[in-house]
């Protein structure tokens, strides 16, 4: 199972810009293979600290609970899909 941790904040402009693409991507993914967990850094400070989140949006890719990749900031959805295809 590939789990994508999507760290964001409600006040973050880039997070708001990325959200529709993440929402659409989630609809395309097989939930048996890939899950996206949305994490608001303001409400989940301990989890954000555990992953050393210093900037949002940040995507952390976990394969069987091991971090295999990360993306900080807005990247094309095609870049995100390449990582998903590599690890799902």
Give the catalytic positions in this structure: 12, 15
Q: In the numeric block, which tokens belong to residue 54? A: 């210093």
CA distance 74 to 88: 21
Q: How many CB atoms lie within 10 A of CB 83?
A: 18
For 52-70, letters b (16+ CB in 10 Å) and e give ebeebbbbbbbeeeeeebb
């Amino acid at each position: 199972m590939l789990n994508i941790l999507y760290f964001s904040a409600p006040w973050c402009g880039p997070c708001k810009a990325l959200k529709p693409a993440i929402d659409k991507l989630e609809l395309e993914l097989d939930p048996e293979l890939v899950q996206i967990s949305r994490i608001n850094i303001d409400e989940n400070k301990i989890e954000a600290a555990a992953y050393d989140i210093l900037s949002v949006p940040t995507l952390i890719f976990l394969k069987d609970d091991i971090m295999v990749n990360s993306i900080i900031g807005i990247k094309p959805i095609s870049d995100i899909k390449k990582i998903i295809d590599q690890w799902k």
